[in-house]
Copies of this chain bind each other. A is one copy, B any other.
Amino acid sequence: MRVTIKDIASKVGVTAATVSMVINNNKKISEATRDKVLKAIQEMNYHPNYIGRSLVMGKTENICLVATSFASVFSLELVKGVEQRLCDTKYNLSLYSTRGSAENEREILKKIFYERRVDGVLSMTATFDKRLIEEFKNQEMPVVLVEQVTEGAPCVKVDNVKGGYLATDYLIKKGRKDIVIVLGQKGAANADERQAGYEKALGDNGMQVNEDNIIRLIHYSFEEGKEIMKKIVNDGRKVDAIFSAAGDVCAMGILAEAKAHNIRIPEDMSLIGFDDLYMATLTTPALTTIKQPIEEMGMQALDMLLNIIEKKSGDTSRVISFEPTLIIRDSA
């Protein structure tokens, strides 16, 4: 049998309540009994059962990170940031991946707070709408959103408008006239914002938006990047720059396919990515890209969540926006 608080109590000759008070550093306990209890705890190798404690305290000391999947470099970096901050606290991290339909995602999120498995939630999922946030509030379950702004919940994100602007403006200043932008699906916050930055930069420089220059993809993948470049070549289009606002991996696909068609980069065509994954330094030419401080975002998101959990802040409408930066390498 595992040793419980009662075992300690009976060994020392006090009650469980006393032992509990010693554990929780209650000042009203005499030195003498405190020492005896502590000694017994040592000897019997006692550790308080976390489930018992959780039940009475109403806290699990667990927080979770929810994402559609953890297969991306983005989520890895985020986990890194969260983890780094978490190790100084008493909290543990659980990962919930909601692979599958939006409905399934909703179910998982609901389970999380109704079953009280965690004290707070960090979410990178898409289905976090106002209704769901309302339910979280009703259940008093703190939540911080990452990369997605929804009214009523605090959020950590990157200034994607600025990211889109920086890249586009740089290309224009380099003399590029016909700039393709590759984006995720319409409606995805990052895609819409980056597009807005792209269009603003064009406008500020007295240029028109050409709808043909807006290309969309779904998985942000290497393969899609190749397909996009292949189509541009097959269509016989003359394009002097591509801004892969859908990330570095896609940009790498574009690069690979461009090489296969003997298109020289950056001489014939400029290429800019988004993310600044470290492999962006490894291609030839090395990729010019927009850097997002993902790890810092993870830390910040966790800090916000812990503040809410521990009631140091009730501010549920705070949006922290990180500044992206242009990293100039060889591809543009």
| Distance of A48 Cα from B94 Cα, bound (Å) | 19
| Distance of A30 Cα from B97 Cα, bound (Å) | 37
Tell yes or no: A218 within 8 A of B by CB: no
Contacts of A45 in B (CB 8 A): 114
Q: Which of B50, B54, B97, B116 lies in contact with A83, CB distance below 8 A?
A: B97
Tell yes or no: A132 within 8 A of B by CB: no
| Distance of A70 Cα from B49 Cα, bound (Å) | 26
Range for the number of chain A residues in contact with chain B: 35 or more
Flag if B83 contacts A222 (CB, 8 Å). no
Flag if A2 contacts B284 (CB, 8 Å). no
Flag if B222 contacts A49 (CB, 8 Å). no
Flag if B55 contacts A52 (CB, 8 Å). yes
Mark out the residues of chain A between 1 and 34 whose CB falls within 8 Å of any chain B CB in the assembled complex: 2
- State how many angstroms separate the Cβ of A309 from the closest Cβ of chain B: 16
Mark out the residues of chain A between 35 and 83 whose CB falls within 8 Å of any chain B CB in the assembled complex: 45-52, 54-55, 60, 62, 69-71, 73, 76, 79-80, 83
Tell yes or no: A96 within 8 A of B by CB: yes
Flag if B115 contacts A95 (CB, 8 Å). no
Contacts of A47 in B (CB 8 A): 110-111, 114-115
Contacts of A2 in B (CB 8 A): 116, 139
Tell yes or no: A92 within 8 A of B by CB: yes
Contacts of A76 in B (CB 8 A): 70-71, 73, 76, 79
Q: Which of B50, B70, B116 lies in contact with A79, CB distance below 8 A?
A: B70
Q: Which residue in chain B gives the minimum CB-CB distance to A279?
A: B279
What is the interface of chain A, defined by CB distance below 8 A to chain B?
Answer: 2, 45-52, 54-55, 60, 62, 69-71, 73, 76, 79-80, 83, 87, 92-97, 99-100, 110-111, 114-117, 139, 222, 249, 252, 255-256, 259, 277-279, 281-284
Which are the 8 A-B pairs with shortest beta-carbon distances? A47-B114, A50-B115, A284-B284, A282-B283, A71-B80, A94-B94, A279-B279, A51-B54
